[in-house]
Structure 1
Amino acid sequence: MSLYTPGDDTGSFIIDADMSYIRGEPLRETGHGSQDLDLEITVGEGQLTLRHTIAINSSSIELDFPLHSLAPHSRPYSVTLKATRPNCDRAYTATTQVYHLPKRADGGSVTKVDSLYGGLLVQNKSDDSSPWSPLLPYSFYVSWDGWLKKSLSNVQKFKDQGYNIIHIVPNAGLANQAFNFTELNMFLDKCDEVGLWVMYDMRWTYQNLTSVRDQVNMLKTRKSMLLWYTGDEPDGQGDPLNATRVTYDLIKSLDPWHPVSLCLNCFNFYYEEYSSGADIILSDVYPIAVNTSWSEVYGTPCNTTYGCCGCDDCEGTLDDISVRLDRFVEYQTWIGTGPKSIWGVPMAFGNESFWSRYPTAAEEVTMTMLSVNHNAKGIVMWDYPTTTELERVTSQLSRVLASEEVVRFLLGAPTVALQATGPSKMDVASWRLGTQMVVSILSLQTPAWLSNVSVTLPEGARAVHKVLWGSGDWRLIEGQLVKTGGRGLETDLVIVEFDADQ
């Protein structure tokens, strides 16, 4: 976890010792060819020392440690790992931090980030004895100075649609480039009352450290506060390369209880520098009804070095979403600082600038589930209000995707891609816990298809237990999910039952 709190007896470190041909130090052979690494982990100034042995080229190894030896305080403990091989004088090192925070005395919330699977954990009450629950955010960006500001009753209406958080976009037209804080606090009171989590946006002010300090200190004790949001496309705006990190360090010094997020727009424009300023990275790829070779706004061509077409280095297909998310995960492995939680920002707007129309309902669901299939642990669409069609389908999907039944899989197990065969272009992912597996099956082609498609499952699959979303026509035949024909851009979400011994 990104932090530990009262009630936690143990924590765990995640150790990756996989081979890399991109970064790291040479792996020297030893006399007897041992494939083990001897680890020594030191926490703080000698408060805790752990020793362990793991295999070279292993990953996601969890090593538990006791928390009682680390006195709770608001500053993180430094952690140093030293790895050596038998009969070899080379030492490999890595560093990180761990928070063991004291009990909150101000009634504020706490949000944990699961460093293994990337999800969020929250407590539904301020009482720190209540259980921690996984939360998969599913919502929209909502402009403060539009629909939201008209009536406090809109807060309840928004939650009643099934959205579990709200991302409020500040008003750049105000002198403080943020909010009317008298009105905002009334809004936050309502969010506290109805149990709607808040994603707080400082896009216009995040480089003004005085303003950031004031806003964080004002709002950090809110029980509806979920996380902070700083840079909105800082790479596309060309913000100073250290801007996001400087603000991140300030926020963490003021509020270690909540994660920090930002949204990157570019395929790769100083990803390492900008992403260093956040725990959670959002990706806003908008590939619907866009011309990716000619800029309709600027009247110029778009290529790898010149021009802006609204979707950086895109082909104008749904694959742009999965490619970008996969690349962000890949960049993190290149950087070597460990994985970060990735969220998707599906397009829910249109008829403006680069985009000639709104997405259809099928496109909206596909963009969302394609993000989830490629390891997004949160969805925040741009933006609300949207069309009646999109409002209806996203409200329906929220009751499935953000449900406890589904979230425990998506945030409690690794995302594993599955192979599909057949004429339709498919994207399939799975999450397994015990004897059950959630399988998400997407058809990425627009025309309907008539022939058979099959998805190969691991051994031991014995029945389709439940259809969560879609047609329900998938059958289990000889260890494969099989379906004959389907709609273009069809999305199916099913639970498969496995034998207990598999």
Structure 2
Amino acid sequence: MKKALFIFLALASIGLYGQSKDIRAAFRLDYYMEEPTAEFVVCLPEDSTYLGATVRLTSASGQTYSTRVEQPGGMVGLEVPIADLAEGAHRFQYAIQTDKGTVEGSAELKKLPYKFNAVQVDRKTGGVIARGMPLIPYGFYCYSPVQPMIQEEEVVRGFNLISPYQSIPGSDRKMRKVYMDRAAELGMKVNYNLLSVATAGTGYNRNQNPEERRQMFIEEIKAFKDHPALLSWYLADEPDGRNTPVEVLRELYQLIKSIDPYHPVSIVFMHYGSERKYIDCYDISMGDLYPVPTKPVAGVAQFQKSMSDALQLEKGIWLVPQSFGGNEWWTREPTAGEIRASVYMGLLNGSRGFQFFIRHGQNGFPKSTTAWGEAAAVALEVAEMTPYVLSGQAAPKVAASDSMVEARAWTRGKNMMVAAVNKENTPKDLVLQVEGWDFTGELKVPFENRTIQVRNGVIEDKIDALGSRVYKLEADPVLTASLDSLNVVDPSFEANTSVGVPNAVYAQVGKGRGSTYFVDSRTAHTGEHSLRLITHKNGEGVTLQHFPIIVDSARTYTLSFWAKAGAQEEFPQEKNYVNARGKVKVEKIRPVDPVVNVTARLKGRTLVDENFTIDSPQWKRYQVDVYVQKQPGKGREGITLNFRLDTRAMIWMDDICFTPKE
């Protein structure tokens, strides 16, 4: 990334006590496409030096925008309209003015043509945006050839990312297309490994002709840059441990960006401070500490905090949690608690992606199914927290009474989540104080199906050894579902007692492997949640049967629901697969609109059997009238309402109603 994209401000007035070295400023996204506005962000020191200051931003055409600093320290945002801005790079000048002087600098905004599979880095949060939605990638490294069952087994657990080690010179590209195509139709993303044709790592051949290697590097990027499963490029593995020259990686990074400016480049580091040395060589910095069992697992927190502090408002931050052990330098693998604590320590210290090293099914790595089950449990928790963690909104600080407990808050509208992690293998009394908060009342503990009473802004609870706790304050009426439970139980999918899955349904998975149904906290028609359905193959969707409906007889009801469609481009039209003889074949698949089959039955009699084409990427209401002649009984004697996404597609559903026709 060019240094113009991120500026450490220069002191323009000696009256600012030399604090300007602690100021950072940049546009929030590394590039923009069709967004109507762009947020310019300034990160100020955590003191009152700039309280009351004016932040002024001026475009090349002379248009000026300004805001006032209302809080001592932290992030200050300024919205800039960019709908009419031409594609290309645009230089903006800014000034931060106080009564004691002015700090000045410039920042670059990049605008690119729209591209469907684009992935943007959110510098304000350290996260990424894919398909216009916030995403915390959560997955694992794996081996090649990719085990044929591993993607479909792990996607249903909540994992959304894979990154296979692979030898590009030593294998057929068709095999790489197989796992990429499978990832796309399952809704997974790929951190694509380029090590074997980059500088070093798995599959790298030092004796290969450099020009041949470079050409392979270029061709591989061109082959997959438009693939719907592509999330990012994995350029280097621990270059700080291999003493890889900075200029070599910088040249490769710039080459990637010249071919594909739409996807971030990632590098993993093993030492403190390496992220600054290689600052011009990547967009996402990954940290792999691997402390178990020789060092305290608490070191993960400091390692990720150091990286996050060094790259704030500049790069994305990921963690590589350890999920191996028992040989080489590691006499054992992490426990379930150590895995949970590692992820939460990363999350609380700026990590916005998680790529475990390593997974080999079914219990190759890790050996412990209990430990891997915990990684999966945390995957669903992280997914639920995503719109809070990546909101970019200001949040109060949280203080813990125990120095070995870390805590942090995030906000979404007027709602708030507070997370805590115990860095020691000892249970503790948990006392948390939210800064500036005098709330007395009830908080949800969303991942434990309980509530807790808070008095005067102090949270008091217990926390397990190497455990985590998450609390939620629901105070925003905009984020509250408008439907009650009249007739349909949990009509808005807000009561996901087991995080990530809907409460009041039976799921009939059928013969297919890999079709999924998850409660999604990132988008909703009303409230905070909707139901995301992905069917990987026509005719192999999951059927969801709602809890039986009890209504009056001899009248007509309106069955309605809201839905929106994912893009057809999510699913490759040419699918590479391995046949029974081990040969790679290509199946051409015609794209189709999502079709949802809806049935309602009462005591074996079909009341409605209708197909709905979900034809809009925006929320749209669908409905059908249902006449109920005989009053249903209780329990299983009620009306059974079934939904099934029949076609190879992705949709979201919300607000299911069964109400008397007006």
- SS for the counterpart of 1:98 is strand
Q: Contact (CA 8 Å) 2:46, 2:74: kept in 1 or not?
A: no
Q: How does 1:9-408 map to 2 (within 5 A)?
A: 9-16=36-43, 18=45, 36=53, 39-42=56-59, 46=60, 49-52=63-66, 60-72=75-87, 76-83=88-95, 92-95=104-107, 97-104=108-115, 108-123=116-131, 132-145=132-145, 148=146, 150-151=147-148, 153-171=149-167, 176=169, 179-207=171-199, 209-269=214-274, 271-290=275-294, 316-332=295-311, 338-385=313-360, 386-387=366-367, 388-403=369-384, 406-408=385-387
Deviation at 1:138, TM superposition (A): 1.1
- SS for the counterpart of 2:278 is helix
Deviation at 1:285, TM superposition (A): 1.1
Q: Label 1:429 to 1:229 Cα distance change in 2 as closer, same or farther (>3 A).
A: same
Q: Contact (CA 8 Å) 1:343, 1:377: kept in 2 or not?
A: yes
Deviation at 1:490, TM superposition (A): 2.1
Deviation at 1:498, TM superposition (A): 5.2
Corresponding residue of 2:420: 441
Per-residue CA deviation, residues 379-416 of structure 1 (Å, 9 max, x unaligned), is 1111102221222112222222113xx21111114575
Per-residue CA deviation, residues 250-275 of structure 1 (Å, 9 max, x unaligned), is 21111121111111111124x32313
- SS for the counterpart of 1:61 is strand
Partner Cα distance (2:418, 2:335) in 1: 23
The one-letter amino acid paired with 2:139 is S
Q: Contact (CA 8 Å) 1:461, 1:498: kept in 2 or not?
A: no
Corresponding residue of 1:409: 388
Corresponding residue of 1:421: 401
* Residue ranges of structure 1 left out of the alignment (5+ in a row): 21-26, 28-32, 124-131, 291-315
Q: Contact (CA 8 Å) 2:51, 2:73: kept in 1 or not?
A: no
Equivalent of 1:2, from 26, 30, 49?
Answer: 30
Q: Contact (CA 8 Å) 2:326, 2:333: kept in 1 or not?
A: yes
Corresponding residue of 1:493: 470
Partner Cα distance (1:445, 1:460) in 2: 29
Partner Cα distance (1:19, 1:487) in 2: 32
Q: Contact (CA 8 Å) 1:373, 1:415: kept in 2 or not?
A: no
Q: Contact (CA 8 Å) 1:119, 1:341: kept in 2 or not?
A: yes
- Report the aligned-residue RMSD: 3.1
Number of aligned residue pairs: give it: 426
TM-score, with structure 1 as normaliser: 0.76
Per-residue CA deviation, residues 82-137 of structure 1 (Å, 9 max, x unaligned), is 53769999873233x32322233xxx5111222221222222xxxxxxxx221111
Q: Label 1:91 to 1:476 Cα distance change in 2 as closer, same or farther (>3 A).
A: closer
Partner Cα distance (1:347, 1:255) in 2: 31
Q: Label 1:380 to 1:234 Cα distance change in 2 as closer, same or farther (>3 A).
A: same
Partner Cα distance (2:41, 2:106) in 1: 12
Q: Contact (CA 8 Å) 2:410, 2:416: kept in 1 or not?
A: yes
Moved over 6 A (4+): 86-91
Partner Cα distance (2:38, 2:271) in 1: 36
Q: Label 1:394 to 1:463 Cα distance change in 2 as closer, same or farther (>3 A).
A: farther
* Residue ranges of structure 2 left out of the alignment (5+ in a row): 1-28, 200-212, 361-365, 478-662
The one-letter amino acid paired with 1:466 is K
Q: Which moved more, 1:238-247 or 1:278-287?
A: 238-247
